[in-house]
Amino acid sequence: MVSGSRVASVAGTQGRVARFNAPRAARVEANASGFPVEVNHQTVAFLREEWRVVDRWWTEEPIIRRYFELVLESGENTVVFHDSTGGGWFTQRGA
Amino acid sequence: MIACVSIPGLELKAALRRTPTLALRPAALAPEPQGEPLIGPITAAAEALGVRPGMRLGEALATCPALALVEPDAAGAEQAWEEIVRALEDAGFAVDPASSGVAYFETRGVERLYGGLEPALKRALAAVGTEWDARIGAAGRRFAALAAASVARPGQVVVVADEELPQFLAPLPLTLLPLERNRYEELESLGVRKLGQLAGLPGGAIAERLGPDGRRAWSLARGGTAARVRGRRPPAAVYASLEFPEAIGNELALRRALTGLVDKALARPERRDRFVRKLALAARLETGGSWRRTLTLREPSADSERIRVALAPRLAELPGPVVELRLELVELTESSGQQLELLAAGAEDRTRLREGLRQVRASTGSGSVCTVVEVAPWSRVPESRALLVPKDE
């Protein structure tokens, strides 16, 4: 596979194993209810789905994410999540 | 000019060769064993008594109680037709056999050889022989030649010049056209009974009412399109036959006989190591009739086992016990070798892909090409499901 992703290029340049579909930081504007209204300067046209992932709660690095599947104004489909433990918004493929 | 040789009722004539006395009496070709009960071609005596080809058997017998039914001899008819076509080819005509009893050829190449069109056509009639009551029609187009042959008497040649074609075709019946029975009836119900009436209608309206077949028929009624006739490639004459001391209907015994026949036919020196493309399995039935099936192999082969497996299911179609089984290698390949693949299927694609990846690696550096390895596909966390592993070769 030839990967164009940042993670892949990190894996490539360092010649080591990397995670596939690793989250990428994204610039997301959310409204008062926490729903994204803009992703990477593109307005959200439609919210298709929302779900939560809570995992590894038994470890010192639990995962608590709120995922949104969105359709942007350009027609692009994207999945973003808000990381409730460390804070911040990320886009992710394969979710 | 295109010439059409026509032998109406060839199947009946071939079957009557076994019982020639029936030719002068009212007789008809019996219906196929597993087909509809419709009689085939009939003798002139039967026609005189009101019997028509294609009649229901019951109706025919009611019309003419003395009607004799002749067992079809499909293999005999095919063999006879093949002999006729070969006789024409031996006389220098490049023949295109359209169906049993109808063949076309171009006269242009042989006119000078025989001293003109008429002598060439008479030579063709002579090649066919008098026993078949052949007739020949010649015209500028294929359908017109068929139409001319349909109006010719036995042993006669009818030539239609291009300028006379519309007037010639106009009074002929629609049955000359390759249409389904219900289409004729539909046209007749509309008052269209002759080719000229059909040709006079607008093509668009015919296409709308009768579809593509109707449009084609309309085009033929106007003379058809000009197309050249290509002579066939003569079939190979390689065969093997097995005559049984008594009729056998047991499938196991027939399968064993078939195995022997396949080996025998493949061992014939005339095959000259060529591969078999098309075969025919024929049988002479205990009842006096015959049976024949042809089979084209998916790819040419000289493997006896493969040929036997392909032919064996046909034995189940035999309508009764057989006294002789015959296997013909109808078409053989020209070469005796078979090109095998140097690389396995898809190998070239893989080689090209590998080369492309090497190119990417060369331009972006080691580690830029990775393989996705699934490690926990069940995980709810997307990035935990798979890893990117650098692929340096």
Query: Between vectors from CA B93 to CA B87 and to CA B97, what angle results, nearest 5°?
Result: 75
Q: What is the CATH number of domain B238-332?
A: 3.30.1490.100
pLDDT at B344: 64
pLDDT at B340: 66
Under the banding of pLDDT at 50, 70 and 90, the label for residue A22 is very high
Tell me the pLDDT tens digit for each residue of B140-193. Answer: 888 889 999 988 998 999 999 888 888 888 899 888 888 887 788 888 888 888
Residues of A in contact with B386 (CB under 8 A): 19-21
Per-residue pLDDT at A3 exceeds 60: no
Number of domains in chain A: 1
Per-residue pLDDT at A81 exceeds 90: yes
The alpha carbon of B219 is separated from its chain's Cα centroid by a whole number of angstroms, namely 24
Residue A64: inside a domain, yes or no? yes
In B, minimum Cα distance to A66 occurs at B381
Residues in chain B: 393
Residues of A in contact with B380 (CB under 8 A): 53, 55
CB burial of residue B282 (10 Å; 0-12, 13-18, 19+)? buried
Residue A58: inside a domain, yes or no? yes
CB burial of residue B9 (10 Å; 0-12, 13-18, 19+)? buried
Say whether residue B371 is in contact with chain A using an 8 A CB cutoff: yes
Residue A70: inside a domain, yes or no? yes
Nearest to B370 among A8, A21, A23 (CB): A8
Say whether residue B386 is in contact with chain A using an 8 A CB cutoff: yes
Residue A16: inside a domain, yes or no? no
pLDDT at B138: 92
pLDDT at A2: 40
Q: What is the DSSP string of B307-364?
A: HHHHHHHHHTT--S-EEEEEEEEEEE-S-S--PPPSS-TTHHHHHHHHHHHHHHHHHH
Residues in chain A: 95
CB burial of residue B27 (10 Å; 0-12, 13-18, 19+)? buried
Nearest to A3 among B366, B370, B383 (CB): B370
Residue A41: inside a domain, yes or no? yes
Tell me the pLDDT tens digit for each residue of A39-69. Answer: 999 999 999 999 999 998 888 889 999 999 9
Distance between CA A26 and CA A22 in Å, rounded? 13
Residues of B in contact with A18 (CB under 8 A): 370, 387-388
Nearest to A11 among B383, B384, B390 (CB): B390
pLDDT at A71: 94
Distance between CA B326 and CA B348 in Å, rounded? 45
Say whether residue B359 is in contact with chain A using an 8 A CB cutoff: no
Tell me the pLDDT tens digit for each residue of B20-57. Answer: 888 888 999 888 777 788 888 888 888 888 888 888 88
Q: In terms of residue numbers, what domain contains A33?
A: 23-91
Residues of B in contact with A94 (CB under 8 A): 382, 385
Q: Which CATH class is domain B1-18+73-233?
A: alpha beta
Q: What are the tokens at B45?
A: 């005596």
Query: What is the nearest CA distance from B338 to chain A, expressed in angstroms?
Result: 38
pLDDT at A1: 44
Q: How far apart are the first and last CA of chain A?
A: 20
Residue among B341, B251, B329 at smallest CA distance from B294: B329
Q: B6: which strand partners?
A: B102, B135
Query: What is the nearest CA distance from B344 to chain A, expressed in angstroms?
Result: 23
Q: What are the tokens at B120?
A: 């060439």
* Residues A19, B388: C-beta atoms closer than 8 Å: yes
Q: What is the CA radius of gyration of chain B?
A: 30
Nearest to B370 among A12, A22, A55 (CB): A12
Q: What percent of chain A has a predicted confidence (pLDDT) above 70? A: 84
Say whether residue B393 is in contact with chain A using an 8 A CB cutoff: no
* Residues A13, B389: C-beta atoms closer than 8 Å: no
pLDDT at B338: 63
Q: Domain segments of chain B: what residues?
A: 1-18+73-233, 238-332, 357-390
Residue A18: inside a domain, yes or no? no
Per-residue pLDDT at A78 exceeds 90: yes
Residues of A in contact with B383 (CB under 8 A): 19-23, 92
Task: Give every residue of chain B whose pLDDT is below 70, as ranges.
Answer: 236, 336-346, 392-393
Nearest to A19 among B365, B383, B392 (CB): B383
Per-residue pLDDT at A13 exceeds 50: no
Distance between CA A95 and CA A81 in Å, rounded? 10
Q: How far apart are the first and last CA of chain B?
A: 68
Interface of A with B in 75-94 (CB under 8 A): 92-94
Distance between CA B32 and CA B71 in Å, rounded? 9
Distance between CA B293 and CA B276 in Å, rounded? 16
